[in-house]
Chain A
Amino acid sequence: MALVLEQLLNGIQFGVMLFLLAAGLTLVFGIMGVINLAHGSLYMVGAYAAALGAKLTGSFLLAIPCGLVAAGLAGMALEYIVVRRLYARDHLDQVLATFGLILFFNQAIILLFGRQPMFVQIPPLLSGALDLGLFAYPVYRLCIILAGLACAGGLFLLIQRTRLGMLVRAGATHRDMVQALGVDIRLLYTILFGLGAVLAGFAGLMAGPLLSVQVGMGEQILILTFVVVVIGGLGSVAGAFWGALLVGLVDTSLRAFLPQILRALMNGSEADALAGGISAMGVYLVMALVLLVRPKGLFPAYG
């Protein structure tokens, strides 16, 4: 029982990380109509900037703004210099251009930091494990869950309750009308892109102490992020949230429980190999199922 709960928490934690990435991606993808493959690079920029900040200042607290600011600035610069030119073009051009950006960012990081992975220490305050009665769970991972949920709440309020959010929603469906009313939609898109970048950077800086900060870390998680966006419905932040939790939970549970279940049915070694195979494709099966039943995703943004 304790093991099941612990694995569920692991799943939620993974889901929350995916949400932070997927939120930015879905906004850019759904509202601005740009497929941004370089979103993972912004995650990497956030992780590297925070790692550098932590190394120079020795404080994780100071590393947080480093990561956020660097990712945000990189995102806005990206929008201003490259992505802005892609709005009117078709998706293939966007994929090509942003794929080129991945290569650019990876090479830039290699030039600046080298190929060897960096590591960030977990701040001592968060390094222990919290006794939850049945089992102990790492404090840092709990913090990720809380921070991610807070971000989700904040984003919801921002989009549903503020003037900026209203403009974002209006700009998504009636771009020309919003512009005709005198709103600078270009600036709005830059801000939106920067916001997505900040969220990706936040995920990156939180991932730093768990995973290794290394070149190409963004691509590893990018594919799953796209799966989340597709499951949730393009352009829907709520969809990204539930999609991320679903993917996180399914992925973790398959990895955690399938081997034991199969071991009860067949001999150990074969069961483990089969479980490894099935859990590797589990989330893609879920995506296929969702698309079969609801082709526009769980929470289609409009119509």
Chain B
Amino acid sequence: MKNFRILAVAAAAMCATSAVHAQEPLKIGMITTLSGPGGYLGQDIRDAFQLAIDMQGGKLGGAPVQVIVEDDALKPGQGKQIADKFIKTDKIKLLTGIVFSNVALAVVPDVLDADGIYVSPNAGPSNLAGKECNANYYVVSWQNDSLHESAGQNANNLGYKKAFLLAPNYQAGKDALEGFKRTFKGEVLGEVFTRLDQTDFAAEMAQIRAAKPDVVFQFHPGGAGIAFLRQYQQAGLTGVVPMVVPSPSMDAVTLKAIGEPALGLNVSAQWNSDFDNAANKEFVAAWMKKYNRPITYYASQGYDTALAIGAALKATGGKVEDAKAFRTAMLKADFKSVRGNFKFGKNQHPIQDWYAMRVEKDEAGVPVIKTTGKISSDVGDFYAKDCKL
């Protein structure tokens, strides 16, 4: 009897191993920013991506997947090295994860040249959205400019006529100011390019005060945004000159760190945690259960990216080798996005709705980001017309 039991266990174990052999999980390479001031952005993308996989029982679209995560430390060179290792050593074909546009611009062309597929959960630099668009490059988040175009539209809707603009001196910062000016109908009193690693904005505060604008538009993702808003208050500008920001300047984490000085801030975004759709409610509840920390746009994008990939894998039977078949499946965007309406445009960037939000106190007196209305519907991006796909 005892021998029989051992035999049974052994047989079961052999079955299990052969099953594993049959279903070798699909490896997905995630290059993201986990260290430094921007570290929580990558952390949220990574955790939300993993959450989607966990919610589907270790699979995406029925295919077992394994995510291999590496930290690019916001260094384009390091990102390139990791991509090289993923593609050549680990033989990974499907990559995702990059937070910052400067890293994306260094890594994505390498991935595409090596016949890889890249699905962006955040960065959507203009250079890759127009003429340089590529059949194997998908962006689930947004094209960088659209964030700021929606903020410019928001400023028009709120009736502001004179704006002062600030953004860090790098590709996404330049995209930010271009995007805002594209839709903003009023006068621009000044544009300031801050340093990417700058955290003290005293000189800029004095310039804002001297320029006397109706509204300030600023784009400072991560820690710099926190410092900016605190110093805005310390300089006595909060409540005097209102501010319009795109979502990267005000997420749930920055809000928690800033607190009350953020009240009254106008935010525009494609997603917010209070969205009333079934997919979003399920996502928010699962996030709170697993991680129990503030949930950011980055998390929603990481989650949507996983769902988008999952929908494509479902159609291809878990295969990514045939990039054409994967593309056909991917472009259908056959998944329930947590942001509501979602489809891919012809440059494989999203066509989606943008919403106005405001930082207000909730019933408990805690500042939260509240959705106040829609800014625009079914918006693609400015560069799609140059894409010949």
Contact = CB atoms under 8 A, between A and B. Distances in A.
**A, B from the same assembly:** yes
Interface of A: 3, 6-7, 10-11, 13-14, 106-107, 110, 115-119, 122, 127, 129, 136, 138, 140-141, 209-212, 214-217, 220, 252, 255-256, 259, 268-269, 272-273, 275-277, 280
B235 A138 contact: yes
B35 A215 contact: yes
Contact of B257 (A107, A119, A276): A119
Nearest to A248: B200
Interface residues of B, number: 41
21 contacts: A3-B206, A11-B203, A106-B35, A106-B36, A110-B35, A117-B37, A118-B257, A119-B257, A136-B236, A140-B234, A210-B231, A211-B227, A212-B37, A212-B223, A212-B224, A212-B227, A214-B223, A216-B39, A220-B37, A268-B191, A276-B194
Contacts of B200: 14, 210-211
A119 B191 contact: no
A13 B199 contact: no
A217 B37 contact: yes
Given A117-B37, A252-B202, A129 B197 contact: no
B253 interface: yes
Residue among A110, A115, A118, A211 facing the most chain B CB atoms (10 A cut-off): A115
A214 B35 CA distance: 10
A141 B203 CA distance: 13
B210 interface: yes
Given A119-B259, A210-B200, A216-B36, 5 more contacts: A3-B206, A115-B40, A212-B230, A275-B193, A277-B169
Contacts of B199: 211-212, 217, 220
A272 B37 contact: no
Contacts of B231: 210
B203 A252 contact: yes
Given A117-B223, A129-B236, A259-B192, A10 B36 contact: no
Contact of B226 (A7, A119, A273): A119
Contacts of A122: 234
A103 to B, nearest CB: 9
B127 interface: no
B387 interface: no
A228 to B, nearest CB: 15
Interface string B165-207: 0000100001000000000000010111111010110111011
B266 interface: no
Nearest to A120: B230
Interface of B: 34-37, 39-40, 43, 169, 174, 188, 190-195, 197, 199-200, 202-204, 206-207, 210, 222-224, 226-227, 230-231, 234-236, 253, 256-259, 293
Contacts of B188: 268
Contacts of A210: 200, 227, 230-231, 234
Given A7-B203, A252-B203, A110 B39 contact: yes
A115 B43 contact: yes
A276 to B, nearest CB: 3
Contacts of B169: 276-277, 280
B93 to A, nearest CB: 29
A259 B194 CA distance: 12
A256 B203 contact: yes
A255 B236 contact: no
Contacts of A272: 190-193
Given A127-B234, A277-B169, A14 B202 contact: yes
Nearest to B173: A276
B203 A115 contact: no
A215 B39 contact: yes
Nearest to B257: A119
B191 A255 contact: no
Residue among A3, A140, A216, A255 facing the most chain B CB atoms (10 A cut-off): A255
A220 B199 CA distance: 9
A262 to B, nearest CB: 12
Contacts of B43: 115
A107 B207 CA distance: 37
Contacts of B204: 255
Nearest to A139: B234
Given A3-B210, A276-B192, A214 B203 contact: no
Nearest to B225: A212
Contacts of A7: 203, 206
Contacts of A136: 236
Contacts of B224: 212
A117 to B, nearest CB: 5
B355 to A, nearest CB: 25
Contacts of B202: 10, 13-14, 141, 252
B238 to A, nearest CB: 12
Residue among B231, B234, B236 facing the most chain A CB atoms (10 A cut-off): B234
A140 B234 CA distance: 9
Contacts of A141: 202, 234
A116 B257 contact: yes
Nearest to A272: B191
Given A119-B258, A140-B234, A276 B193 contact: yes
A212 B36 CA distance: 12
